[in-house]
Amino acid sequence: MAERVLITGARSVAALDIARSLRAAGYEPHLTDCSPAWLARLSGAAGPVHRHASPVERPADFARDIRDLIARLDPVRIIPTCEEVFHLAALAEADGFSDRLFAPPLERLATLHAKDRFAALCRSLALSVPDTTVVADRAALAAFSGDAADHVFKPVWSRFGARTLVAPGPEDLAAVAPSPDAPWVVQRRIVGEEVSVYAVCQEGRVVAFCAYGSDWRLPGGASYVFRPLPADQTARLRPMADALAAFAGTGQIACDAIVDADGQPWLIECNPRATSGVHLFGRSAAFGQALMARGEAGPSTGACQLSTALWLHGLPTALRDRRLAAWRTQRRQGSDAVGAPGDRWPVLGALADAAVFGLRALRTGRSLTEAITADIEWNGRPFDPD
């Protein structure tokens, strides 16, 4: 009988590809989320999809549902893919299943996730990071003496570039209201190419690594096309991942960086969870085994894309910016991370999920990216299942 693995965050394409890799490696993947997760439900390759309560809106019910899933499925490993990782880590420490959770302890997760603490960690590890200052009230913001044109302002707890201000003007800064519960950071601006890294870590050692860039992004910076970086850039980024893996221990780490004109990479922020780097491993059995601490995996050499975003966002961008030829080349040559050979229904599932989150955004007055994460995100507050 195949060993069961529980993958949380079933709304994400990363969760779907992780499930495909685990199935290829001979495991029985199960997925769960507090959203409908049509993306995964319509897949013929992912596995059963379960439902749990939102850890943000109903923490006690979330704890009950997760406990029930663990009791029923008895998974050998629980792999988070989105920000539910923080809530799970807190629950795992309380309930004693941290050994099954594929993530660092909560305190290390928080250090990696908080932009000020991550910058301090990088400095302690001698990793290149821009000068970073935390501001926790309007007075501290007003006392900032640098030139705003040379800095980036963003919340300590944020994702997908939400509310990030690059070289803001006085009117933009006047709208910023940091507080002790919602602090911001001021970071020296680095001009260059935005890149990302993703690593799977087992007991402080990297067992799967990729570095990638993108020429196609949503407003705010989230990518929907992923191309592997050249070998020389990858070689410069790998030691950074190794150093962070030694701190994280076991789990997934993903970082955004900027490579300046001299080729020097500067770490900007970290996501201690799955990201789109997952897709560059081609749904391989080797990647599934790496996630289970039973081997190592390397990425494929070709670019890939989220087909739904390439059509919905990429095509209008290509028409506006006169990049239609480049769009056609990407669509033709890149592999789709959403649909797979023999498993195309997730494309329709992704559209259904987009509609669900779009309606939620309209109903709540949030942006689409905020609506996608509002029910699972973690902003530094203790998780209390009671």
Average pLDDT for consecutive 10-residue bins of the chain (386 residues)? 95 97 97 96 94 96 98 98 97 96 97 96 97 91 83 90 86 89 93 96 98 87 90 96 98 96 95 96 97 96 92 93 94 92 94 93 89 92 72
Within-domain flag for 252: yes
Identify which of 277, 253, 281 has the alpha carbon closest to the alpha carbon of residue 267. 253
Return left, alpha or beta for 322; rule: phi > 0 is left, psi -120 to 50 is alpha, else beta: left
Residues 182 and 301 in one domain: no
Residue 236 belongs to what domain range?
A: 195-345
Residues 183 and 205 in one domain: no
Query: What global pTM score does this model have?
Result: 0.94
pLDDT at 250: 98
Within-domain flag for 36: no
Within-domain flag for 168: yes
**CB count, 10 Å around CB of 174?**
11
Query: Would you tell me the crossing angle of helices 106-113 and 231-248 to the nearest 10 degrees?
Result: 140
Identify the H or E element spanning 79. Answer: strand 77-79
Within-domain flag for 385: no
pLDDT tens digits along 5-25: 999 999 999 999 999 999 999
Across 1-11, b (16+ Cβ under 10 Å) vs e yields: eeebbbbbbbb
What does DSSP assign to residue 340?
B
Number of domains in the chain: 2
Sign of CA dihedral 152, 243, 200, 66: negative
Within-domain flag for 326: yes
Domain boundary among 164, 188, 212: 188
Residues 306 and 271 in one domain: yes
In sequence order, the 6+-apart residues with CB closer than 8 A to the CB of 344 are none
